[in-house]
Chain A
Amino acid sequence: MPIRVGNRARGDFAHAAPCERGCPPYDAALRAMSAETLTVEVWRGAATGAFQTFTVPRRLNQTILDVVTEIQRDQDPTLAYRFACRVGMCGSCAMVVNGRPRWTCRTRVSEAAGTDGALRLEPLRNFTVVKDLAVEMTTFFDKWRDAQGFFEPARTPAADFAVVPPATPARKAADEAIECIGCGVCYSACDVVAWDRDYLGPAALNRAWTLVNDVRDTAREKRLAAVAGDSGCQCCHTHMSCTSFCPKGIAPTYSIAGLKRALFWQALKGGGK
């Protein structure tokens, strides 16, 4: 979805005077929208707390991040939330919007709120809440480490650069899943993470799969063992929420299926446990 930089003529800066060039459709839309407000329920507190309701004017091309920022800057400076790049690159702004985990900078109010203008903002599910909309990411990244989701080079440097043709099946499999930025949306969406706190989760397993397919990596056995525990890749039940909601279009379900296959054949041939 293309990001449109704010365009005054299109009415993005609603606090300014209506379009100076006098574009009737935009003026009308802007006036109509300015008369509308959004009713925004925001989670306040940590593990226990309550929803607090704010009213925010509805504006053209508004994103959920715009809404949260307006609340925090103009209405309640004690509201805690995260964002960084605000253009869909870093994944810091992920939270649950009307029941669905997504990036707030990439979610238009028009898409999420519907005609009644009701929004409910909650911190990501399956994470420990630090405060309001900000969550503790440590467990998420610990599981990344526990799944051996990091590259292990050879003990001695190779004589020359590794040649990895992009069209090989292993590299294609890795490339399909490599764009993960660790935003946590998939982990938040996963029901098995909610049911089994030890489950490594889709992001960590997806990263492990990319490394299993990396021909330069030297820790394949260790990595397969890492994802083979009682709360490892075999616990995925193919609900596919991770794949549905991943903002990068990655399919952790299929990466996890690849890990399952690798371990299946390994177990069948009698290796590993």
Chain B
Amino acid sequence: MTPVLFLAQRLSAAVLALAVAGHLVTILYAIRGGLTAGDILARTHGNLAFFAFYSVFVVAVAFHAPIGLRNVIREWTPWRGGSLDAALAVFAVMLLVLGFRAVFAVYAA
């Protein structure tokens, strides 16, 4: 892991510490008495605060997860080098795309 990747990893970790704490509290509160789509959408539809919160969450995760996986794959499998970095970049983009799609979906639907 290079210093730049380390920087991104630790900064995104700090952001996620707050985001995950908030998300866990929200989950534990929201699932009481069962969870339906209506429950979720009632909270997120048109809610700019949720939209902003989860957007930041998605960006942080898109940095944090691929860099973490890079360490695991480099250390526990023989795969390393440019092809691994490229594959993880694709994974990062996938997380961004799917993540923003989901955030938008619950905001606008």
Contacts and interface: CB of A to CB of B under 8 A. Distances in A.
Interface stretch (A171-179, A200-208, A210-218, A229-237): A229-237
Classify chain A's interface size: 10 to 19
B33 interface: no
Contact of A235 (B4, B10, B71, B76): B71
A266 B3 contact: yes
A186 interface: no
A229 B76 CA distance: 19
Contacts of B71: 235, 237
Classify chain B's interface size: 10 to 19
B10 A229 contact: no
Contact of B3 (A192, A196, A267): A267
B14 to A, nearest CB: 11
Nearest to A194: B75
Interface string B71-82: 100111000000
Binding site secondary structure of chain B: helix
A192 B75 contact: yes
Contact of A228 (B2, B10, B75, B76): B2
A59 interface: no
A192 B1 CA distance: 12
Contact of A273 (B1, B2, B74, B76): B2
A235 B2 contact: no
B6 A234 contact: yes
A260 B75 contact: no
B7 interface: yes
A35 to B, nearest CB: 48
A273 B3 contact: yes
Interface of B: 1-7, 10, 71, 74-76
Interface of A: 192, 195-196, 228-230, 232, 234-235, 237, 260, 263-264, 266-268, 272-273
Given A195-B75, A196-B74, 5 more contacts: A192-B75, A228-B3, A234-B2, A264-B6, A273-B4
